[in-house]
Structure 1
Amino acid sequence: MALDGFEDFLLTRLATPCAWPHEPAAVEFHATEGLAWCLTLAGAGARSTRIPASAATGSHPDAAGVRLHGTASDLLLFMYDRIPASFLRVDGDLLPLDRLRAWEPEEWAARRDRRPRPAPERRRAGTVPLLPLTPAEL
């Protein structure tokens, strides 16, 4: 389950055609369960690819600065800032990941701003509504 969740995170949450504003970088994620991925950050945006099993133990050709090794669950928790890097085996410089966490491409900001926001709850003084108020009650 965690393998699917981590791959889904890479392919949906991090994928974007928005240009990476820093020097190109690649981050490899190696799950102890046997799968590995490479996240490429460049002018064409961010994209993830699965590293073939035959190459997963070595260096991916596009690999640059950092490789993270851990369970799929721990990799995902790390990407959500729920655990520190010390829970993983880290080979290389974490700078691309620090920049990735701070990066908010225009596309992501636009998605966030288009999300429907719940209407604020309106209350009458001294009462606690059990059901939402109807337009006639406002």
Structure 2
Amino acid sequence: MTDVSDPKTARELKGGTGLRRILNATGYSMQGFRAAFRTEPAFRQLVLLNAVLLPIALWVDVSPVERALLLLTPLLSLTIELINSSIEHVVDRISLELHPLSKSAKDMGSAAQFMGLVLIVVCWTTILL
């Protein structure tokens, strides 16, 4: 077993330093986006929602702050979905057995996504109506 408390080992596991680390991290992020898009229907639905809402946010005549809110809330919901999906994957990796803590973790991730969607509705209706 690898001792991750050793700073040298931890650096090696993280994939380098400086520009190499940034490039590696970018590659890992792109792999995460591809995995979410490939395996998570909810993520694909949010990508579609963003494809509709983001151009509208750029088109409507609103203040810069309002435009920022119209752009950020759908993107925030995508971010929340990535975190929610990662929680679900980790829970499933640990065990597929039904357990109250596993259910709570998944339910809380779902609740976070629900709040992200509520933020979209509240911001968009407040600004556009």
User: TM-score under structure 2 normalisation?
Assistant: 0.29
User: TM-score under structure 1 normalisation?
Assistant: 0.27
Q: Which structure: greater strand fraction? A: 1
Q: Which structure: greater helix fraction? A: 2
